[in-house]
Amino acid sequence: MKLLDISEISKQTGVAASAIRHYEEKGLITSLGRRGLKRLFSADVLDQLALITLGKTAGFALDDIAKMFGPDGRPALSRPNLHLKADELDRQIERLSVLRDMIRHVAECKAPSHMECPKFQQLIRISNRRKRGRVEKKRVPERSKP
């Protein structure tokens, strides 16, 4: 298997070398060894980095990402907790859709101030309704395995 050094990984993914080191330190990825001081990575980390980047843009913390798709390939979160994360994303997607509609509306609206615009107010009410309607699901505690 061909091994890649950090500059190669960085070039192909667009992730800074310092960030890659940082991810290894936090346990999100692993290097397969060294040539001298230099880390060597398998090509798999290219996908892993894509996943990390994706998770980050979704607003997840690095620790969360590590738990969802650890470098070992087995998630450290239970199935119910993974579904909670997915549900969280569904709500986030809804919120973003409302916001996007608001921005599009602000771009076109003729009203002197968007706060006075009835349609805008309606969108705000929608977002408030969603917020209130949101079920505050608790994290299911992980059971330590025997």
Partner DNA sequence: GTAGCAATTCAAGTCGACTTGAGGTCAAGA
Partner DNA sequence: TCTTGACCTCAAGTCGACTTGAATTGCTAC
Residues engaged in binding DNA (CB under 7 A): 5-8, 16-19, 21-23, 35-39, 56, 61-63
Per-residue b or e along 29-44, where b marks 16 or more CB atoms closer than 10 Å to that residue's CB:
bbbeeeeeeebbbbee
Binding of residue 41 to a copy of itself (CB under 8 A):
no
| 25 counts as binding a copy of itself under rule CB under 8 A | no
Question: Which 66-125 positions form the footprint of a copy of itself (CB under 8 A)?
Answer: 68-69, 72-75, 79, 82-83, 85-86, 89-90, 92-93, 95-100, 102-104, 106-108, 112-116, 121, 124
Question: CA-CA distance, 86 to 82, in Å (whole number)?
Answer: 6
Decide which of a copy of itself, DNA, none touches 63; Cβ closer than 5 to 8 Å per partner kind: DNA
> Helix or strand or coil: residue 142?
coil
How wide is the angle at C-alpha 32 spanned by C-alphas 27 and 33, nearest 5°? 110
Please state the closest distance from residue 76 (CB atom) to a copy of itself, in A: 11
